[in-house]
Structure 1
Amino acid sequence: MSSVTVRVPAKVNVQLSVGPLREDGYHDLVNVFHAVSIFDEVVAKEAESITVTVNGRWSDQVPLDDDNLAIRAARALAKHAGRSYGADLIIQKAIPVAGGMAGGSADAAGALVACNELWGLGLPFEDLMEIAGDLGSDVPFSLLGGTAVGTGRGEQLSELPTGGTFHWVFALADGGLSTAKVYAECDRQREVSGARVSWPELSAPLIEALGTGDAYALGAHLSNDLQAAALALRPELAATLDSGRQHGALGAIVSGSGPTCAFLAIDATHARDLADSLTATGAATTTVAAHGPVTGATLL
């Protein structure tokens, strides 16, 4: 086989509860992931070494060296297999870079699936998940897709049932936000406030809303402990969130560490209308309507 193509989705966090800072520098999380229909494609072609090329809107923001998570994923897979392999990875970007939608993690997951196939390794899904967990907190979910709760630092996943399809609009911001800086700002705000940080817990009303497919209830229970920190670093996002609410979004939230803003819609028609309203009023430069849940990294 000379070429393999994998499609991998973006995610939105419908609940992101952040516990106290741990000694290892991470936080214990309750992180409800939801995979949505914004996709990167990762093509793996036969080559003597592992390289990466990136195309698409945000290609100039993606590193092409050892900082690229897809390269690190391919190398980790080769190391796990105990042999030297090569692959030319070609990534077609549609997921924002540093946008809080796990774009880099998605590409890493795509590289794992593509290279596993290209190199004929035949490793089971469980092995890929183990490698993914070592690469980053969001990479395992990019493999899994659907809707799931992540605990620990987010890599310990349990699938969650959903009772239907949810429709979203994403307002894509110009420029990204560093996840590390957003977490640091969250810690700073907590230290300043002196508030006791409790152990994160899964929201029962949110889980019920997901299970019954109730978009109105889900919109009412979206939550993100990093949102205040993201807004402190990018104050203009507050106006975008307010505009979405004013135009009928059932819920409005910063996705992950931001700066992408996510708006829950009633149905596909409402999502299209909401996206048009956000751009027409100047509240967002670029919007994308999408739905979820969708499957994780998938061979095409």
Structure 2
Amino acid sequence: MSDLHGVPHVHVRAPGKINVYMNVGRRRSDGYHDVATAYQAVSLFEDVRAFPSDTFSVAFNGPIDTRGLPTDRSNLAIKAARMLAKKTGITSGVHLQIEKNVPISGGMGGGSADAAATLLACDHLWQTDIGRDELVKLAAKLGADVPFSLVGGTAIGTGRGDSLSPALAKGTFHWVLALADEGMSTPEVYGELDAHRAKHAADIAPIDETPSVDTGVLQAIRAGDAQLLADVLHNDLQVAALHLRPELTRTLEVGDDNGALAGIVSGSGPTIALLASSAEAAIDLQVSLAASGLAVKHVTGPVAGARVMEA
């Protein structure tokens, strides 16, 4: 617990993520796709503070424009708090103060991080003590990326991405994120991928019936080797994101021209993650991209998942 203006509260920090590899299967009858992805949690964090309340409410601050975010029952963090309360029989509410730093609809799991942080914060605030495993099960009901926000580090996700297996990772990877002004709709990107595959079925490789992560990705992460990872970065959703936002192609080209080992669309986009060989190379890349007019951040990974912060 910590104290802000005399009001006890719990502060939890949860990371955004980059999908360093993403293999997308066919569209299922329920509209979802099976995927196999390699997640890496990175040092761009959401900060959630949970205050005692008789009702459920949420407010936002931070550098991200949050005017378009819902603050009613449809907000994912509110859903997380209500779900935990129902699960544990809690009859009180919570006021959530969320400092947003991860781009909204940016392909980095910012909303998922909010939900994961809320689950952990409310667990501590209400002293429900249901355990990490139960929190992860609840997280999976909220969205495919929410369990990973709790777990953090590096992990392989299968199914919808919510069935996680930790991956051994060594060292630190340096990324420069090129941030877009406007987010992208994940369902729209998946729909565009389906349309692209249907249109070009005769010309592209067959869709994997059982998606998997290339073993080279695991080897690169295990070795902590940025060059090896650069050689195997892959995202099936990238072609769809570039169709919908052709200007992202130029961002990838600018990164390549300025020393990035490789670049990739993060998740469903539009954030572009550019991999650098070292901290110094990342700083040089960041400066060059900023000079070209792009909004950029230097982040590192892997980092820990959602955790309670001390006062």
Do the aligned partners of 2:41 and 2:301 also contact (CA within 8 Å) in 1?
yes
Do the aligned partners of 2:90 and 2:126 also contact (CA within 8 Å) in 1?
no
Q: Does 1:207 align with 2:213?
A: no
Q: What one-letter code is carried by the residue in structure 2 that aligns with 1:38?
A: L
Runs of 4+ displaced beyond 4 Å: none
Do the aligned partners of 2:46 and 2:101 also contact (CA within 8 Å) in 1?
yes
Do the aligned partners of 1:15 and 1:223 also contact (CA within 8 Å) in 2?
yes
Q: Does 1:257 align with 2:264?
A: no
Name the SS of the counterpart of 2:281 in structure 1.
helix
Using the alignment, how far apart are the partners of 2:46 and 2:196 within structure 1?
A: 34
Alignment partner for residue 21 of structure 2, among 3, 8, 15?
A: 15
Matches within 5 A, 1:224-263: 224-263=235-274
Matches within 5 A, 1:47-62: 47-56=53-62, 57-62=64-69
Do the aligned partners of 1:30 and 1:151 also contact (CA within 8 Å) in 2?
yes
Q: CA deviation at 1:60?
A: 1.5
* Number of residue pairs aligned between Structure 1 and Structure 2: 298
Could you say which residue in structure 2 is the equivalent of 1:32? 38
Name the SS of the counterpart of 2:297 in structure 1.
strand
Using the alignment, how far apart are the partners of 1:61 and 1:32 within structure 2?
A: 30
Do the aligned partners of 1:61 and 1:97 also contact (CA within 8 Å) in 2?
no
Q: Does 1:197 align with 2:207?
A: yes
Q: CA deviation at 1:206?
A: 1.1
Using the alignment, how far apart are the partners of 1:91 and 1:207 within structure 2?
A: 34
Mark the runs of 5 or more structure 2 residues left unpaired by the alignment: 2-7
Using the alignment, how far apart are the partners of 1:6 and 1:143 within structure 2?
A: 11
Do the aligned partners of 1:32 and 1:147 also contact (CA within 8 Å) in 2?
yes
Q: CA deviation at 1:63?
A: 1.4
Using the alignment, how far apart are the partners of 1:143 and 1:121 within structure 2?
A: 17
Could you say which residue in structure 1 is the equivalent of 2:288? 277
Using the alignment, how far apart are the partners of 2:122 and 2:76 within structure 1?
A: 14
Q: What one-letter code is carried by the residue in structure 2 that aligns with 1:74?
A: A
Percent identity reads 49
Name the SS of the counterpart of 1:206 in structure 2.
helix
Do the aligned partners of 1:169 and 1:289 also contact (CA within 8 Å) in 2?
yes
Using the alignment, how far apart are the partners of 2:208 and 2:137 within structure 1?
A: 29
Could you say which residue in structure 2 is the equivalent of 1:85? 92
Using the alignment, how far apart are the partners of 2:81 and 2:173 within structure 1?
A: 33
Name the SS of the counterpart of 2:212 in structure 1.
coil
Using the alignment, how far apart are the partners of 2:70 and 2:21 within structure 1?
A: 29
What do residues 245-294 of structure 1 show as CA deviations (whole Å, max 9, x unaligned)?
A: 11111110000000000000111111111011011123x2x100010000
Q: Does 1:41 align with 2:38?
A: no
Using the alignment, how far apart are the partners of 1:85 and 1:218 within structure 2?
A: 47
What do residues 17-74 of structure 1 show as CA deviations (whole Å, max 9, x unaligned)?
A: 1001111111110011000000110000000011000112222132111221100000
Q: What one-letter code is carried by the residue in structure 1 that aligns with 2:118?
A: A
Name the SS of the counterpart of 1:231 in structure 2.
helix
Provide the TM-score with structure 2 as the length reference. 0.94
Alignment partner for residue 139 of structure 2, among 132, 141, 162?
A: 132
Do the aligned partners of 1:168 and 1:265 also contact (CA within 8 Å) in 2?
yes
Could you say which residue in structure 2 is the equivalent of 1:299? 308
Could you say which residue in structure 2 is the equivalent of 1:122? 129
Alignment partner for residue 104 of structure 2, among 97, 102, 105?
A: 97
Do the aligned partners of 2:22 and 2:213 also contact (CA within 8 Å) in 1?
no
CA-based RMSD of the aligned residues comes to 0.9
What do residues 123-170 of structure 1 show as CA deviations (whole Å, max 9, x unaligned)?
A: 100000000000000000000000000000000000001111100000
Using the alignment, how far apart are the partners of 1:66 and 1:177 within structure 2?
A: 22
